[in-house]
Amino acid sequence: MALKIAFFDSHSYDETSFAATNADYGFDIQYYKEHLSLKTVPLAKGADVVCIFVNAECNAQVIDKLVEYGVKLIALRCAGFNNVDLKAAKGRIDVVHVPAYSPYAVAEYAVALMLSLNRKIYRAVNRTREGNFRLKGLLGFDMNGRTVGLIGMGKIAKVLIKILHGFGMRIMAYDLYPDHEFAKQYGVEVVDLNTLYANADIISLHCPLTPETKHIINAESIAKMKKGVMIINTGRGQLINTEDLIEGLRTHHIGSAGLDVYEEEKEYFYEDRSDNMIKDDVLARLLSAPNVVLTSHQAFFTEEALHNIATTTLNSVRELAEGKPYSHQVQG
Ligand code: NAI
């Protein structure tokens, strides 16, 4: 009997890529539009595996239910696993993730945000559409010679470093466990956070969300940054205290922000809410800022990444079916 997978948070593009890849695996996949939460967890009854994404609420209560239903595996089809209570899962239900599906997708997207903000492409497009061909307000700067500071120097940041190195930027990075060999190769200055804040014209976040990194960008750290700094977040929303970011934008201490993630994204991201007013005041204020580009957690969204996500996830399910050790288990 083919293993049953309850696939939460499903969109047409997920279904297309998983259905195509599953032709080689033959699992029984049921697709559900809903996020996994205490309310929706009954949909997992009878499944062997739940497949979830970044906005699932996989807390202790949900895990209790999954264990009660006999679900054996939580398969995250993303890299981050901050939304799963690993303590509650430990020894009761296995958790796997997709550690890297395309570092290129996310790194290239971070560059897209930088260039869009720097050269005001998002504003220029709106203007020319309305027949306004003036340049006032569109002044940018050469990336060449400017300093970029990366917090986290893992897989994504390393791809980004290669690209920014090509631009001729001065590159600084802070990481708990820096790869000095790589840093040397690309002329990266491995620095402490205060040095990074004091020097960077652009700060880009590439560390995971952990208790130590939650709100790493806050009023205190912003005060240490250069006036006019650009902040890019393709990591996780909670790396930034959004109220403090907005205050920084309001006082012009922060020059611009490119955000692919947001602290409270669950209610909005991946949904069409265009028929209603945005009730989240913080999000509404961000969207009204002329120097903010905010997108809906799409940095990963390339053909290659979707293919890799489906293959890695279904391989994990195959490992469960064959009783083999997981290649990508998340340990609590
Ligand atoms: P990775 O695990 O290769 O690199 C993370 C780096 O952060 C490691 O070098 C680690 O030593 C460092 N680190 C850990 N704690 C730190 C701390 N307290 N301070 C400074 N550095 C610290 O991860 P990867 O693949 O580069 O991804 C980074 C993050 O990007 C993920 O955790 C995820 O949250 C996010 N992401 C976002 C996506 C999107 O679509 N927007 C897609 C994929 C990942």
- Which pLDDT band, with edges at 50, 70 and 90, does 267 fall under? confident
List 231's β-bridge partners, or say none: 203, 257
In a domain, 329, yes or no: no
Give domain status of residue 331, yes or no.
no
Q: What's the gap in Å between 326 CA and the centre of ligand 1?
A: 21
Q: For residue range 185-232, what is the model confidence (pLDDT) as tens digits? A: 999 999 999 999 999 999 999 999 999 999 999 999 999 999 999 999
Measured in residues, the chain has a length of: 332
**Distance spanning both ends of the chain, measured CA to CA:** 30
Burial 82-100 (b: 16+ CB within 10 A, else e): ebbbeebbeeebbbbbbeb
Q: Whose CA is nearest to atom 6 of ligand 1?
A: 154
210 and 229 together in one domain: yes
Confidence category of residue 54, pLDDT binned at 50, 70, 90: confident
Residues 306 and 290 in one domain: no
Name the amino acid, one letter, at 279.
K
If you measure from the C-alpha of residue 27 to the centroid of ligand 1, how many angstroms do you get, rounded to a whole number?
31
pTM over 0.75: yes
Query: Is residue 166 domain-resident?
Result: yes
Cα of 308 to ligand 1 centre, how many Å?
Answer: 18
Residues 171, 317 within the same domain: no
In this prediction, residues 49-70 reach a mean pLDDT of 96
155 and 274 inside one domain:
yes
Q: Are 148 and 214 in a shared domain? A: yes
pLDDT at 79: 87
Residue 62, domain member (yes or no): yes
**Which residues are tagged catalytic?**
236, 265, 297
| The predicted structure's pLDDT at residue 35 | 93
Alpha carbons 247 and 232: distance in angstroms, whole number: 16
What's the pLDDT score for residue 121? 97
Confidence of residue 331 (pLDDT cuts 50, 70, 90): confident
Residue 123 belongs to some domain of the structure: yes
Report d(CA 93, CA 111) in Å as an integer: 38
Cα 37–41–45 angle (5° rounding)? 165
Looking at the CA of residue 157, tell me the nearest atom of ligand 1.
26
In this structure, the residue with its CA closest to atom 2 of ligand 1 is 154
Residues 154 and 45 in one domain: no
Return the CATH number at 267.
3.40.50.720
Q: Are residues 234 and 262 in the same domain?
A: yes
When comparing pLDDT for 192 and 100, which is higher?
Answer: 192
Q: What pLDDT is recorded for position 272? A: 86
- Quote the number of domains for the chain: 2
The answer to whether the CB of 56 is under 6 A from ligand 1 is no
Lowest average pLDDT, out of 76-85, 98-107, 268-277, 310-319, goes to 268-277
What pLDDT is stored for residue 271 in this prediction? 82
Domain membership flag for residue 182? yes
**Mean pLDDT in the chain?**
96
Question: Is residue 80 in contact with ligand 1, taking CB distance under 6 Å?
Answer: yes
Residue 142: other Cβ atoms inside 10 A: 10
The CA-based angle 129-132-138, given to 5 degrees, is 100
Cα–Cα distance measured from residue 229 to residue 254, given in angstroms and rounded to the nearest whole number: 5
154 lines ligand 1 (CB under 6 A): yes
- Residue ID of nearest Cα to ligand 1 atom 42: 300
81 pLDDT band, cuts 50/70/90, is very high
Q: Are residues 114 and 71 in the same domain?
A: no
* For residue 332, pLDDT beyond 80: no
Same-domain pairing of 231 and 110: yes
| Contact between 207 and 193 (Cβ < 8 Å) | no
Domain extent for 249 = 103-294
> Which amino acid does the sequence have at 37?
S
